[in-house]
Amino acid sequence: MHEAPIRVVRSGERSGKLKGRQPDERAVAEVRGLVGAAPAGGHRRDLLIEQLHRLNDAFHGLHDHHLVALAHEMNISMAEVFEVASFYHHFEILRDGKQGAPVTVRVCNGLSCEMSGAGDLLARLPAVLGSAVRVIAAPCIGRCEQAPAVLVGQVAVACATAQRVAEQVGKPSPSEPVAGFIGYEPYRTAGGYALAAAVANSQDEAERILKAMEDAGLRGLGGAGFPAGRKWRIVREQASPRLMAVNIDEGEPGTFKDRHYLEREPHRFLEGMLVAAQVVGVEAIYIYLRDEYHECRAMLQAELAKLQSNPPCPLPRIELRRGAGAYICGEESAMIESIEGKRGEPRMRPPYIAQVGLFGRPTLEHNFETLYWVRDIVEKGPQWFAGHGRHGRSGLRSFSVSGRVREPGVKLAPAGITLRELVDEYSGGMAPGHELYAYLPGGASGGILPASLADVPLDFDTLQPHGCFIGSAAVIVLGQHDKARDAALNMMKFFADESCGQCTPCRVGTAKAAQLMQAQVWDNATLEDLNQVMADASICGLGQAAPNPVRCVQKYFPHEIS
């Protein structure tokens, strides 16, 4: 056999072949049909995730030839496209001609759903639905009061059974607005946006509103609890242009309060958002909504269009961005990275995003619910909000209550209420056949407490002495038939799946801890070594808080692990 001669390319001579894989014409045409032809100046790099969603929705996954074509159309490297596409759970990369399933069914395996039989449902569905349907486990989808919850494509199925899921697969249909939904016209008729218009017309001074926010004592309701008024002042003092990022990526297991309010009164939130933007001097707003809230996204797009077509006052630029299934993007700097079209990896701080945030500009970042209360606080006065509270605390809290209670759901209650009071007065008591055994006061990150501590006030700064924190007020209640160790293992598996992988202590530590926690008798010394390293050496709150459930089981439930 004769070998082909080797051609030597001399200096200054082109080889005649471009480096790397080149797009084929058909793939380019298909991509252009979805993302459009490049505008003058080219496609915006920060819209990469939005473009990936268009491809993923249209072709039930991301084919490699489409990724090559997208990189070509956006004038970025294939490596940049692939590293982003491979980071998010909701993008399925298809290679070697593999075809994606026309329907994906996601069965939530969060703690509340697991307690309601999600594991059995997940095991049964493949046989019931057949091989044409892709059935996968999914982390908490923000519907814990509807456990077990399932997503069939983009439609949620509450209190799911195999039959209900099969019926939804057979004839998918968009859901109707929830009872009590208030759209744009009814909201304005009832006086909505009068405050935003007054602020825009300088009838209400920014300083008065800032003072009201500070006097009300409103703290960030996404989990960190930073005083909202102080945050406004900090960003307002920065050089313009200033931006705003709104976090509706509530991925903390057990949390669904933002969805609850968004489904019912989106314009109360939007008005609070506009007031904050006007007071701080924001030029553009980016709303980041988790991908699991498909119905909310469609509704919010429609309501934003109504607001923009008939505005009550001059509006800043508002962009609605779609998450792609990554819990870490609930962390403010990771969310900003995602809005910029990148992997959702947390940033090192300082600088803080109030100074150097989105696109390098000073950024006001807020959770949905924080903005939801702005109108009431300004119109009713700060004492209206601060006047609520129990056991020496002040304000209102929206508790997402799930688990072994008779009436799960969002409970608006005084800050400082105890778990026992929350269950008995707001949640209809314990579910039949269950007695209070333990509870999680702040979702996966907030730790686990025994029933003997059910009279501790639930608020910021009250739970830390017990090794827990309130976070986003996601309360999951366990009964006497449940085990705290099982709850802790469920949470650690969640952390292991959701770690962004940037920090080795978190990436390796969560997976190793989950492995150790499956033993009948825990190796407490090794687990504590892992806990300490994760808490000390992780960049963001995921790795820092991952040890909390483990340490609580070791402290309060030693009989379960020895």
Question: Angle CA(323)–CA(326)–CA(330) in degrees, nearest 5?
Answer: 80
pLDDT along the chain (562 residues), means of 10: 48 56 93 94 95 97 96 95 97 91 96 98 97 96 98 96 95 81 98 95 86 94 89 96 97 96 98 97 98 96 98 97 97 97 96 97 97 96 96 96 98 98 98 98 96 97 95 96 98 97 96 98 97 96 96 98 96
Residue length of the chain: 562
Q: What is the pLDDT of residue 5?
A: 47
Tokens 């019926």 belong to: 167
Residue with tokens 């298909």: 30
pLDDT of residue 170: 84
Check: CB of residue 323 under 8 Å from CB of residue 291: yes
Neighbour count for residue 395 (Cβ, 10 Å)? 20
Residue of 443, 445, 413, 407 lying closest to 428 (CA atoms): 407
Q: Of 217, 215, 195, 219, which is closest to residue 205 (Cα–Cα)? A: 195
Q: Determine the 3-state secondary structure of 102 from DSSP.
A: coil
Q: Rounded to 5 degrees, what are φ and ψ at 405?
A: -120, 160
Give per-residue burial for 15-53: e unless 16+ CB within 10 Å, then b.
Answer: eeeeeeeebeeebbebbeeebeeeeeeebeebbbbbbbb
What's the pLDDT score for residue 17? Answer: 58
E runs forming strands in 356-408: 363-367, 396-403
Residue whose C-alpha is closest to residue 260's, from 148, 374, 143, 366: 143
Is 456 in a helix, a strand, or coil?
Answer: coil
Strand partners, 155: 152
The single-letter DSSP state of residue 260 is H
Phi-psi region of 213 (alpha: psi -120 to 50; beta: other; left: phi over 0): alpha
Q: Which residue(s) pair with 134 in the sheet?
A: 104
| pLDDT score recorded for residue 378 | 95
3-class secondary-structure state, position 346: coil
List the beta bridge partners of residue 401.
Answer: 409, 475
Query: In angstroms, rounded to a whole number, what is the distance separating the alpha carbons of residues 539 and 287?
Result: 24
Cis peptide leading into residue 241 (ω within 30°): yes
Instruction: Output the furthest CA–CA distance in the chain (Å, rounded).
Output: 91
Question: What is the distance between the alpha carbons of residues 256 and 28, in angstroms, rounded to a whole number?
Answer: 40
User: What DSSP element (H or E) covers 479?
Assistant: strand 474-479
pTM score: 0.94
3-state secondary structure of 387: coil
